[in-house]
Structure 1
Amino acid sequence: MEAEQRDWSSLPEDLLDEILRRLRWSSHPSFASTCRAWRSAVPPFYRAWVTPVLLNTAHVGTTNLRFYSPYFHKNFEIDCTLDAPGAKICCSTGHRLTVCVDHLIMDAQLHTGHIHKLPRFFVRRFHFVVRDRRKVLGLKNTLGMLEITRCIQHGDGKWGHREFWDTDSYRGFFASPVRNPVFHRGLLYVLGEDGRLAVYDERCHDKGFEILDSPMSFGAGLDFENSYLLDSDQGELMAILVGRHGTPVHVVKLNEQTMEWDKVESLEGRTLFTGTLATMIKKTDVKWMHNKVFLPRLYEWPETIHVNLVERGGEFAFVPKSGCVDATVKDGDHTFGAMMCSYELGQNENATEFWWTEKLNYSIWLDFDSATSVLVLS
């Protein structure tokens, strides 16, 4: 009887705050729908996991981080900077960022700012840096010569000796201008500018890269300037071909029986995010994003909100600092203005041409809803 008579709507505000801190972000809407008092205790937040977000340094060459959400069409900027001035983005997972300064590779936790230094590589510059939990690969592609350096972390936490391999026997293979390597079926693939593929099997490190005999090209009639490689969510090796001013956009898929690139006419309800150092394809519940390709254009930025990146129960959210946003957070619409180019696959007439205005070396798509490493170049 005492429980039935208790007025749960009159719980103290500090107790409601403590309850909210223990709940996942996705539980907050249900919490807010209980009563007016509980709704007023729920702070505004923006879901970071609703779609991939574009991470870029607010100032080129620094690590003051800014996140653009195509769903909300807003920028979310973190006030604190990572203690790595001049660092370049190498690779990322949803909450970890690997950056490189000269010979030094560092692993940063995005929501805490903690920096962990990885083994020093005595190589002036890599074209690619690929990393997972216990392995770092540094790759170079110069004048058709492929070079790779590997370092592996042992079970005791110590890093082993660097293993180096290079050859000039593959002159004539030139990686695509963006040159992002990806892992596909356990092998590392690098895309050539003409559609050829170089493959590396870390179990046979001494053999280095193998240049496949086919495919030899992307096929006739495909106009493009940049190409991006992708291991899709369905285990397909795909390439995205983007024209000079952002159009046209072609998507091709490797037919592993014929070893030829086949043109893709539909994304089957998925959404593709490309145009930076990482390309990813996602199945999303946001219907207006289905079968679309998103390409960033880095000028005329939309509204910027200063936030904290907060993790609860494996979910990440952008939480505005006091006074930075209205109490009501609205879901996004599909009005992008000048920030984002949205291209519907197969409909060239709807694509909008635009000029790149800033190098994308300091930008990367990342997915807070995924624990899978996104492999990109530095």
Structure 2
Amino acid sequence: MEEPDWSSLPADLLEDIVDLLPRSSHPRFAAVCKHWRSAVLPFYPAWLTPVLLNAADVGSTNVRGRHLTLCQRTGDENTVAHIDLVTGAICDLYPLERCSFDFVIYDDGRRMFGIQEIGLAVARAIQCDRGGWYPWEFSELSPDGSKLKASPVTSPVLHRGLLYLLGIDGRLAVHDDRRHEEGFLVLDKPGGFGPDRDADECYLFESDEGELRAVLVGRRGEPVGVVRLDEREMEWEEVESLGGRAVLTGTATTMTMETGVEWMRNRVFVPRLYSWPETIHANLMERGGELAFVPVSAAAVARDGGAGEKGIWSCGWDPEQSEKFWETIKFYQGIWVNFRK
């Protein structure tokens, strides 16, 4: 009888081995033979994976890193939950009395902010050493009243220690946590948002270069523009080049990133939320400081098409292109989080 070779190792043993390997080694492990490949689940690195939130029936949401904040109505009261997407741990904050939030954001530094658009009221909660949260501290209403109509499809952005909220006309409201009781201050309208700059949708974000930027989308998806805020002159300026970066937007979470993936460079991506493919259940897992979405079952992704065959809208932003236009491309790294179930 022939001695058993490496290709005949039991499947459960192979899975245990794979669990001990860094994910960067999985492709080489899978290339050994068909049997070894069957033990390797596909994974989608979190840095390449926009988390798209469907919270229409729930409330305001925000994702930062591995943490999710969620404001929702539970029974007769409004609650805010802080969720660790890796461990699944859920911590409920103190219930809200007679109010709710239009926006909620967690800063990864043990502070959470809830914002009411009417009156621009802001509340702050601070995490205690034991992991729970202290009661909400509410600011005064903005002395300017509700002079800012916030863009409903973008989240507030923490930038250089300040909290910014973008209006649909390019106006900004800013909150300094060191003077929390003063609430929001509505700034004078920066230049650069003239009649030719009207947009139906405005997505505020902080670039990986540390600038405040916004993606502007007009009626029926065009025109599209990306602008940066010159904070010294307080002017919105056209961004002529993304510098090889990709911008993922169109939901409550907008982010920009450098990428070595050639077809993603110098492009703005917006999800096609009405034509998503079959659901593939996945877990967000952390190993060696690397976050990745790992499908629960290999069977679902083994079929032709994968996790994102129906595509995502993208807009080219290459300086060599004479026109900017939307096109539909296949995109396999979209994770659609549905809170309706």
Q: TM-score, normalised by structure 1?
A: 0.74
* Correspondence 1:88-99 to 2 at 5 A: 88-99=59-70
- After TM superposition, the structure 1 stretch with the greater mean CA deviation from structure 2, 301-310 or 193-202, is 301-310
Contact 2:70/2:104, CA 8 A, preserved across alignment: no
| 1:45 Cα offset (Å) | 1.0
Contact 2:217/2:225, CA 8 A, preserved across alignment: yes
Residues 37 and 322 from structure 1, CA distance in 2 versus in 1: closer, same or farther, beyond 3 angstroms? closer
1: CA distance, partners of 2:282 / 2:131: 34
User: In the alignment, which residue of structure 1 is the partner of 2:209?
Assistant: 234
2: CA distance, partners of 1:177 / 1:52: 23
Residues 157 and 341 from structure 1, CA distance in 2 versus in 1: closer, same or farther, beyond 3 angstroms? closer
User: In the alignment, which residue of structure 2 is the partner of 1:300?
Assistant: 275
User: In the alignment, which residue of structure 2 is the partner of 1:22?
Assistant: 20
Aligned with 2:14: secondary structure?
helix
2: CA distance, partners of 1:327 / 1:296: 22
Question: Please, which of 98, 101, 110 is the counterpart of residue 72 of structure 2?
Answer: 101
Residues 120 and 235 from structure 1, CA distance in 2 versus in 1: closer, same or farther, beyond 3 angstroms? same
User: In the alignment, which residue of structure 2 is the partner of 1:282?
Assistant: 257
- The question of 1:183 aligning with 2:154 is answered no
Deviations 1:329-351 (A, max 9, x none): 9798xxx65x5221113768552
- After TM superposition, the structure 1 stretch with the greater mean CA deviation from structure 2, 8-17 or 196-205, is 8-17
Which residues of structure 2 form unaligned runs of 5+? 329-333, 337-341
1: CA distance, partners of 2:42 / 2:128: 40
- After TM superposition, the structure 1 stretch with the greater mean CA deviation from structure 2, 191-200 or 111-120, is 111-120
User: In the alignment, which residue of structure 1 is the partner of 2:331?
Assistant: none
2: CA distance, partners of 1:350 / 1:226: 17
| 1:27 Cα offset (Å) | 1.3
Greater relative CO, 1 or 2 (CA 8 Å, sep 6+): 1
User: In the alignment, which residue of structure 2 is the partner of 1:160?
Assistant: 134
| 1:51 Cα offset (Å) | 1.5
Aligned with 1:203: secondary structure?
helix
Aligned with 2:228: secondary structure?
strand
User: In the alignment, which residue of structure 1 is the partner of 2:316?
Assistant: 344
- The question of 1:326 aligning with 2:323 is answered no
2: CA distance, partners of 1:264 / 1:326: 40
Amino acid at match of 2:213: M
Amino acid at match of 2:18: L
Q: How large is the Cα RMSD of the aligned pairs? A: 3.2
Amino acid at match of 2:20: R
2: CA distance, partners of 1:305 / 1:50: 19
Contact 2:60/2:104, CA 8 A, preserved across alignment: no
Question: Please, which of 201, 221, 224 is the counterpart of residue 199 of structure 2?
Answer: 224
User: In the alignment, which residue of structure 1 is the partner of 2:114?
Assistant: 138
The alignment of Structure 1 onto Structure 2 pairs a total of residues equal to 320
User: In the alignment, which residue of structure 2 is the partner of 1:264?
Assistant: 239
Deviations 1:168-196 (A, max 9, x none): 53133322333521011111111122212
% same residue: 42
- The question of 1:208 aligning with 2:186 is answered no
- The question of 1:42 aligning with 2:39 is answered yes
Amino acid at match of 2:265: H
Contact 1:128/1:138, CA 8 A, preserved across alignment: yes
1: CA distance, partners of 2:138 / 2:291: 39
Residues 12 and 233 from structure 1, CA distance in 2 versus in 1: closer, same or farther, beyond 3 angstroms? same
* Correspondence 1:40-119 to 2 at 5 A: 40-49=37-46, 51-57=48-54, 61=57, 87-102=58-73, 103-119=78-94
1: CA distance, partners of 2:220 / 2:278: 25
